[in-house]
């Protein structure tokens, strides 16, 4: 059959995202007016470390007649943070939640918005370590304003929460949790340290590549992923190793947004299957873990597809990945993993050993990862040996 022949397999998919998305330089200034237009009188403003953008937003909201209850979080969100924020929102009688910050602040805000209107405890609804009950009541209106370019949490339907007691990260998930409004302003990336740009940017790249290869991929997410991967490939290294230019900020912000759209609708894969339990036990930043795991995961997936699923549609996509990541049409499929490894090395990505994992901890991580929800999207079911190989190869620091 000619390579240009149409694929005769049936197509069926759903695409869901935030009710509205505003993208562009300077659009963060529109948030106070947009929040007021939602009819909100008092909002919980969730943010991380003190930053001028949060102060400006609080001032702008007050000028529009919207009272602000500030809830500042430190580090990645946990079950305890979600409980505390929910209590604050209820006590202050907030009728909406606005989150400004990285994925941690946005996930925390998303969780609080959902829990504030649903009875019980967060563990009633949390996956994996909780009871996984569905949310019944609509969350408080939620507005997300990302200041990093990595998680795409502003357009996803879940919030990732850590549990020190269980030693794992798990999701609070529901279609009801999609934000009412997402405002993505590339100007908010100005001044970001190179280490943050690298970690978040590699997270975004992972969240484009895994949905593109996912067993749940569809034509719309493929198109979005292709655009995001191209933008990341042309701008991420330069953004992290030199002055951050406006065009690079735009590429990274858009790549992150597109990655969020893709993962929310096509799922992820083995990288995130490992990153969830590893993040819960190692306490390392999510993006750093994804960056460490991505090269070996791509290599092992390619080999497994060739060996056990040579007609799988994801196998043909490795050639596209290689071309986009290297900038060379006709690049061999193996060059996708090599290009990612070279990028990780150039950006100083540390291996899992740097974050506290040793050889003795590998079997336990493999066992926990097999039960992670993200693993279901991997294009092929990996054997215990293949999963072990990924982790063992990811222990070492990346080398350019």
CATH code of the domain in which 125 resides? 3.40.50.1970
Cα separation, 294 vs 337, in Å, equals 8
154 with 146: CB under 8 angstroms? yes
- 398: in domain: no
Residues 184 and 78 both lie in one domain: yes
Residues 99 and 247 both lie in one domain: no
- Structure token digits, residue 394: 């990811």
61 with 32: CB under 8 angstroms? yes
pLDDT, tens only, 8-61: 667 888 888 999 999 999 999 999 999 999 999 999 999 998 889 999 999 999
- 246: in domain: yes
| Domain boundary, last residue among 189, 209, 239 | 189
Residues 210 and 289 both lie in one domain: yes
109 with 56: CB under 8 angstroms? no
- 134: in domain: yes
Cα separation, 109 vs 45, in Å, equals 8
- The beta strand positions in the chain, using DSSP E, are 20-23, 42-47, 67-72, 96-101, 142-146, 158-163, 168-173, 181-184
Residues 156 and 214 both lie in one domain: no
Residues 247 and 158 both lie in one domain: no
Instruction: Find tokens 């960056």 and name the residue.
Output: 291
From first to last of the 400 residues of the chain, give the pLDDT tens digit: 334 445 666 788 888 899 999 999 999 999 999 999 999 999 999 999 888 999 999 999 999 999 999 999 998 899 999 999 999 999 999 999 999 999 999 999 999 999 999 999 999 999 988 999 999 999 999 999 999 999 999 999 999 998 888 877 889 999 999 999 999 999 999 999 999 999 999 999 999 999 999 999 999 999 999 999 999 999 999 999 999 999 999 999 999 999 999 999 999 999 999 998 998 888 788 888 999 999 999 999 999 999 999 999 999 999 999 999 999 999 999 999 999 999 999 999 999 999 999 999 999 999 999 988 899 999 999 999 999 999 999 999 988 7
Instruction: Calculate the alpha carbon distances from 334 to 83, 264, 331, 338 in Å.
Output: 46, 27, 8, 7
Residues 86 and 102 both lie in one domain: yes
pLDDT value of position 373 = 87
Residues 274 and 379 both lie in one domain: yes
Short-list 63, 60, 65, CA closest to 41: 65
Cα separation, 351 vs 128, in Å, equals 26
Cα separation, 153 vs 106, in Å, equals 6
- 260: in domain: yes
Residues 207 and 174 both lie in one domain: no
Domain of residue 301 covers 194-393
- 2: in domain: no
Residues 216 and 304 both lie in one domain: yes
Cα separation, 364 vs 22, in Å, equals 42
- 383: in domain: yes
Residues 150 and 206 both lie in one domain: no
Cα separation, 184 vs 205, in Å, equals 17
DSSP 177: G
| Domain boundary, last residue among 163, 189, 215 | 189
Task: Return the CA Rg of the chain.
Answer: 20
pLDDT value of position 8 = 63
CATH number, domain containing residue 375: 1.20.1090.10
pTM for the full predicted model: 0.94
- 4: in domain: no
- 10: in domain: no
Residues 365 and 226 both lie in one domain: yes
Residues 310 and 282 both lie in one domain: yes
| Domain boundary, last residue among 161, 189, 217 | 189
Count how many domains the chain has.
Answer: 2
């Amino acid at each position: 059959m000619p390579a240009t022949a149409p694929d005769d397999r049936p197509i069926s998919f759903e695409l869901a995202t935030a009710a509205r998305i505003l993208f562009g330089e300077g659009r963060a200034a529109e948030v106070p007016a947009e929040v007021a237009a939602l009819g909100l009188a008092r909002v919980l403003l969730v943010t991380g470390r003190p930053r001028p953008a949060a102060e400006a937003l609080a001032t702008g909201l007050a000028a529009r007649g919207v009272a602000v209850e500030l809830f500042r979080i430190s580090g990645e969100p946990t079950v305890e943070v979600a409980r505390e924020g929910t209590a604050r929102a209820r006590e202050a009688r907030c009728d909406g939640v606005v989150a400004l910050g990285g994925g941690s602040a946005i996930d925390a805000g998303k969780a609080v918005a959902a829990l504030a209107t649903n009875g019980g405890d967060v563990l009633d609804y949390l996956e994996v370590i909780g009871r996984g009950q569905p949310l019944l009541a609509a969350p408080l209106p939620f507005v997300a304003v990302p200041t990093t370019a990595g998680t795409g949490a502003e357009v996803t339907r879940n919030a990732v929460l850590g549990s020190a007691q269980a030693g794992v990260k798990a999701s609070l998930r529901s279609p009801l949790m999609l934000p009412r409004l997402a405002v993505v302003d590339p100007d908010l990336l100005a001044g970001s340290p190179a280490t943050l740009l690298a970690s978040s940017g590699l997270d975004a790249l992972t969240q484009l590549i895994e949905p593109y290869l996912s067993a749940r991929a569809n034509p719309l997410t493929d198109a979005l992923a292709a655009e995001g991967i191209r933008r990341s490939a042309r701008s991420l290294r330069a953004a992290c190793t030199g002055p951050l230019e406006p065009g690079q900020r735009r590429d990274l912000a858009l790549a992150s947004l597109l990655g969020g759209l893709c993962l929310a609708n096509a799922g992820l894969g083995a990288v995130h299957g490992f990153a969830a339990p590893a993040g819960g036990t190692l306490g390392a930043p999510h993006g750093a873990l994804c960056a460490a795991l991505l090269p070996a995961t791509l290599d092992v997936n390619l080999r497994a597809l060739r060996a056990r699923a040579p007609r799988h549609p994801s196998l043909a996509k490795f050639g596209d990945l290689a071309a986009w990541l290297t900038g060379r049409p006709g690049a061999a499929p193996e060059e996708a993993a090599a290009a990612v490894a070279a990028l990780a090395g150039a950006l100083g990505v540390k291996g899992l050993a740097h974050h506290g994992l040793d050889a003795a901890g590998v079997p336990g991580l493999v066992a926990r990862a097999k039960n992670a929800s993200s693993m279901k999207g991997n294009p092929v079911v990996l054997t215990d040996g293949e999963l072990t190989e990924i982790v063992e190869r990811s222990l070492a620091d990346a080398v350019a």
